Amino acid sequence: MPNITIEGPPIKDMDKKRELVRELTDVAAGAYGLPRETIIIVIKENLPDNVAIGGTLLSDRKKPPEEKR
């Protein structure tokens, strides 16, 4: 059984999360030629307090100013 693991920021919108796993499942099932029921997907959601780039936590990085509309 293929196992797909995705790591990233939390996805708060459950409909978007459902869409993500549905589409990944469809693509993997097609690529492997296996039934959808054999595809396992694990989503690991990482808060910005738990991820660092270049020694700086994402939560400590300055956010770019929002563009004026």
Tokens 């869409």 belong to 19
Contacts of 36 (CB under 8 A, 6+ apart): 25, 26, 29
Q: What is the pLDDT of residues 3-25, one digit of tens each?
A: 999 999 999 999 999 999 999 99
Going along the chain from its start, the domains and CATH numbers come out as 3-60 (3.30.429.10)
pLDDT at residue 26 is higher than 80: yes
In DSSP terms, 53 is beta-bridged to 56
**Which of 11-20, 46-55, 58-67 has the weakest average pLDDT?**
58-67
